[in-house]
Structure 1
């Protein structure tokens, strides 16, 4: 059994991870170590896709799992959901040895990767996501025992609460971002993996007629040419290309002014599995400039405080030398920070960064 210190340490890491997504890999690895597993992962699956985070050792394996399309033929997950239990289950709770021997997930992926034994549990979040926590063991180490799942069942209530807390906090952060744009008088909306609107502020909702929300909450512009550009931008969020169109002009409609809708891909240096937003749409009209501080936009890209300051300086037209002098650091430090800003925002050069984000910076 876990002693009080070990139990407290494992639980504390789970609640810390709910607040700080960077902690999830370590928290997963800690639980895996407790029950003699090699690693594990936590993933949230919904109709809009799958977000996941894994311990350092198991992350490359699960990346191959996703790339090879196993999530769509995941017999283990189907069995877990059908099982309906409230605790941790093992492979032998879901399949007989004969079934394991003819199930492609095991024969064609897990066992060739050196795995094939594990334990998992399922939590249904308030947002409707299926949250699955699984720990994986090397095949030669044998199945996970009932004693080990009993240990994990003692931690499971805390795991479930941490996952639900993380989901709620993520939504609060998203709503706070939309509220910031609302205060600046700027229409804004969050877009999910399925190109549907997850949330929008009041100003964005008032664009009804010019901006159309259709089936499955998919967003469109009531102008054929502008909408074609918008759909292309949304479909290519994961691929940054020089010269791509992310600021899309829409014509005047009746007594409503023309506007520009900016597509901002949301990047995360550390994967937050509860963040279903893939992009933010921000609208500016032809009648006014967007009064948003550049640092707020930089938060979309998970910049550090120092990197956000560098980004703001670039948008103000400062050179690397001027940034180094104004911040009291050497030029090599600034060069390194500029590289990080470009990497996190998906830009290939400073000119590309300014071209994309200058229309969104605050005007004095």
Structure 2
């Protein structure tokens, strides 16, 4: 069995990737080198969808895999989960040569892509995600050997701990975000990729009745017209077509006050595969005195603080000249920053930006933790 110290750099990269998601592609690529493979990927699969990250070489291949719907007919994954082992397994651990010749995943996708041999392992996280790590080898290079899987088994405990650590860190960050809104008195909930509510804060729970959480976490509003708007926003979110903030007014009912429910898409880092939230639902009322929050813009749209300052200026009606003068930069710098702000927020023009982001001005200062 491998002494993991022989590949200390690979082990170190795994733990770094758990905290800094941008490192995952390099960490995966390093493990692929150890096993004599071409590339690989790590994906977390749950009832709310599949998030994944791959090495640079294999990312385009897996993108096509997802686009062509192979995840829903992934014979390899089904075999891996059924195998139940605690180490890395190969294609020959799951299928005979004859079975591979009859399996569409191999004949219709992997081999036409130039692949067809690999090794994989499975970890189940405390949140219920199936975390699968797979390394892929070009078909012409032949199957992954037992010696190579034994090398990987020496690193597997570190891989499992890094993946579980990353998952726990994301859960803690999500809970911290909701706690921040709770502290400010704002009801808030996190929505996953399938449109289901995964976590709510106590203030949001107090709205149950006007807000309805159904089976499997689907959310609805008691008011029919408002609910139709919410369901459309969630459907657009699931198709990645919700370009900006969607704000839905909910009328007063009996003794319950009117409120506005905002659907805020979370522009998380694409490599942050353990982030299960795609949007946040935040409730505000017209009675409160509220203002814009710079760190909220940074968190939701990946803006730098300089870009967030420009965004605030645009929301405040400042011109390019006024923005430049107030910040001591040139017009060219300001124009460049405006372009980046529009691109990151998914807006095509300043008017579109104002329409989509104006609702963020409703949120109180300090409700969303900044990235620092």
TM range (shorter): over 0.9
Residue 349 of structure 1 corresponds to 349
**Any gaps of 5 or more consecutive residues in structure 2?**
366-372
The 5 Å alignment of 1:182-331 reads 182-237=182-237, 238-240=239-241, 246-291=246-291, 293-331=293-331
Q: Is 1:57 aligned to residue 57 of structure 2? A: yes
Deviation at 1:216, TM superposition (A): 1.1
Residue 145 of structure 2 corresponds to 145
- Alpha-carbon separation, structure 2, partners of 1:6 and 1:289: 59
- Alpha-carbon separation, structure 2, partners of 1:214 and 1:256: 20
Q: What per-residue deviation string (whole Å, max 9, x for no partner) do you get for residues 251-293 of structure 1?
A: 0011121111111111224331111111111111121144551
Mark the CA change 1:350 to 1:271 in structure 2 (over 3 Å): closer, same or farther.
farther
Deviation at 1:348, TM superposition (A): 1.8
Residue 77 of structure 1 corresponds to 77
Deviation at 1:130, TM superposition (A): 0.4
Deviation at 1:180, TM superposition (A): 1.6
- Alpha-carbon separation, structure 1, partners of 2:5 and 2:301: 37
Deviation at 1:115, TM superposition (A): 0.3
Corresponding residue SS for 1:180: helix
Residue 120 of structure 1 corresponds to 120
Q: What per-residue deviation string (whole Å, max 9, x for no partner) do you get for residues 77-123 of structure 1?
A: 01100110100011111111111111100000000000000000000
- Alpha-carbon separation, structure 2, partners of 1:255 and 1:140: 71
Corresponding residue SS for 2:128: coil
- Alpha-carbon separation, structure 2, partners of 1:245 and 1:329: 29
Which stretch shows the higher mean deviation, 156-165 or 313-322?
A: 313-322
Task: Confirm or deny: 8 A CA contact 2:233 2:242 kept in the other structure.
Answer: no
Q: Is 1:157 aligned to residue 157 of structure 2? A: yes
Task: Confirm or deny: 8 A CA contact 2:245 2:265 kept in the other structure.
Answer: no
Mark the CA change 1:95 to 1:343 in structure 2 (over 3 Å): closer, same or farther.
same
TM-score, with normalisation over the residues of structure 2? 0.92
Deviation at 1:68, TM superposition (A): 0.6
Q: What per-residue deviation string (whole Å, max 9, x for no partner) do you get for residues 181-217 of structure 1?
A: 1122111110112211111111111111111111111
Deviation at 1:3, TM superposition (A): 8.1
Deviation at 1:337, TM superposition (A): 2.8
Residue 20 of structure 1 corresponds to 20
Residue 43 of structure 1 corresponds to 43
Deviation at 1:346, TM superposition (A): 1.9
Deviation at 1:26, TM superposition (A): 1.0
Cα RMSD for the two superposed structures? 2.1
- Alpha-carbon separation, structure 2, partners of 1:229 and 1:134: 41
Deviation at 1:5, TM superposition (A): 6.6
Corresponding residue SS for 1:162: helix
Deviation at 1:48, TM superposition (A): 1.2
Task: Confirm or deny: 8 A CA contact 1:184 1:292 kept in the other structure.
Answer: no
Deviation at 1:298, TM superposition (A): 3.0
The 5 Å alignment of 1:27-38 reads 27-38=27-38
Which stretch shows the higher mean deviation, 229-238 or 107-116?
A: 229-238
**Any gaps of 5 or more consecutive residues in structure 1?**
none
